[in-house]
Amino acid sequence: MKRRGFFGGLTAGGVAGAVGGQWSVAQEPAAKPASEPVAEVAPGPLTVKSPAALMAPRADGLEVVWAVSGLCTGRVEWQLADGTGGGLAGSDAFGFVPQGEEVLRVRLEGLPPGASGRLRTLTTPHGGAMETGEWREFKTLNPAAAETVFAVWNDTHEAASTIQALHAATPHVDFLLWNGDTCNNWVTRAMLEPTLLHPGGCDITSGRPLFITMGNHDVRGPWAWRTEEMLATPSGRPFWAFRSGPVAAVCLHTGEDKPDDHPSFGGRVAFDALRREQAEWLARIITAPEIRDAPHRLVFCHIPLRWKDEKRPDYVNGGSDSYSARSRDAWHESLVKWGVQAVISGHTHQPAWLAAAEGFPYAQLTGGGPQLKSATWLEGRADAGGLALTLRGMDGKTLHDIKLPRLV
């Protein structure tokens, strides 16, 4: 079976402002009248509004996403470090060169597992000259590697100082997983690009190719539906599985922390159907050899599947889920069958480790929060000796240091 089938700085004039590795937030361009034809966009200099975010790493490539301020086309030039390959990526599923007025996305594929290289963006404004981005390094995932190192953030909620501290503390890793609640509520369209593509003014994917799982706050507000335009995932859906060295990971979307028909959602969500779809997919994906036979098995999802106090919330009077009973009911049987060792989540804004117990043979780890005093980052390191999960606060203190044995 093909893997894709189931795994799912810049040149002058193109810089929105970069100082010390941080990017300023460019102003949202004025909205055009609905009657104005796109073809009549006036030519002019283009401002590239974000660093090129390296997202959705895979064994055969990744996706490059960057923000722009006007109609343009985008391509990505790439070279492998060993000199065995290189080229220009720049076509979409319908035969067009990738183009857009606000965001450009280019998918690199067909690369070797564990390949290192460099890439740069080529951005051409409507009626203008091409602008060339600076070279930046990349690396594809390697399912056969003897070890892997990764990091996890969550619940940053647009807190710039917290994101900057996380960015400073987190080393280069095989992948960074931002485990939900990047925002509070998408109340304006202008929030999306700075929050997701250069959060806190930082180039967070430099040396850390990025996965983003969806949290309950990420799906709130009238503009939440636009997030999929700039959030690349390996599968093109908000759930996927991948292998990095000895670790197989399943990423799931736990939806909201209240029922779909809750009046606060304004009829905009349908997560019960999405949970059922994920349940059917999960039952299949855990039989894929690279996932089924991995020495370590993890789930990443924003809302925990277990919690210390599992009382039923009073939704009518402001209650909400501290853990996702709806998700657990849908996925528990498959997770047990697969032999998942731990579920890594956020949502609660407090660090906690719930060891495996009778009826729940998988552990639950939580952490993170928007304030510096509650923020955490998780380092995962798997090798021949097992999997170490180390949760640290922003003061450098170790909050949890967990060792999980290899399953095979």
pLDDT for position 28: 39
Same domain, 228 and 361: yes
Same domain, 306 and 393: yes
- Does 111 reside within a domain? yes
Residue where a domain terminates, one of 81, 104, 139: 139
Same domain, 99 and 172: no
Q: The tokens of 140 are what?
A: 């594809």
> What φ, ψ does residue 23 adopt, rounded to 5°?
-115, 135
Same domain, 368 and 231: yes
3-state secondary structure of 265: helix
Average pLDDT in the 164-184 region?
A: 98
Q: Lowest mean pLDDT of 14-18, 219-223, 363-367, name the range.
A: 14-18
Same domain, 233 and 322: yes
Same domain, 306 and 371: yes
E-strand ranges in 59-115 read 61-67, 72-80, 86-89, 99-100, 103-108
CATH number of the domain encompassing residue 120: 2.60.40.10
- Does 310 reside within a domain? yes
pLDDT for position 47: 78
Average pLDDT in the 278-286 region?
A: 98
Total structural domains in the chain? 2
3-state secondary structure of 338: helix
- Does 37 reside within a domain? no
Residue where a domain terminates, one of 86, 109, 139: 139
CB 354 within 8 A of CB 363: yes
The model's pLDDT over 299-334, given as tens digits with 9 standing for 90+, comes to 999 999 999 999 999 999 999 999 999 999 999 999
Q: Give me the domain span that covers residue 247.
A: 148-404
3-state secondary structure of 57: strand
- Does 27 reside within a domain? no
Residue where a domain terminates, one of 106, 139, 172: 139
Same domain, 175 and 288: yes
- Does 41 reside within a domain? no
The model's pLDDT over 58-83, given as tens digits with 9 standing for 90+, comes to 999 999 999 999 999 999 999 999 99
- Look at the alpha carbons of 392, 178, 55, 58 in this order and tell me if their dihedral is positive or negative: positive
CATH number of the domain encompassing residue 300: 3.60.21.10
The model's pLDDT over 234-244, given as tens digits with 9 standing for 90+, comes to 999 999 999 99
Cβ atoms < 10 Å from Cβ of 175: 25
Same domain, 282 and 380: yes
The model's pLDDT over 368-388, given as tens digits with 9 standing for 90+, comes to 999 999 999 999 999 999 999
Q: State the pairing for strand pair 136-139/116-125.
A: antiparallel
Output the DSSP codes for 176-201. Answer: EEEES---S---SGGGHHHHHHSGGG
Cβ atoms < 10 Å from Cβ of 287: 12
CB 15 within 8 A of CB 9: yes
Same domain, 321 and 210: yes
The residue type of 240 is W
- Helix axis angle, 271-285 to 325-338, nearest 10°: 0
Q: State the pairing for strand pair 352-354/342-345.
A: unpaired
Same domain, 349 and 399: yes
- Does 194 reside within a domain? yes
Q: What is the pTM of this model?
A: 0.89
Same domain, 205 and 166: yes
Same domain, 53 and 189: no
- Does 323 reside within a domain? yes
CB 32 within 8 A of CB 71: no
- Does 120 reside within a domain? yes
Average pLDDT in the 171-193 region?
A: 97
Mean pLDDT of all residues belonging to the chain: 90
**Among 17, 67, 68, 14, which Cα is nearest to 41's?**
68
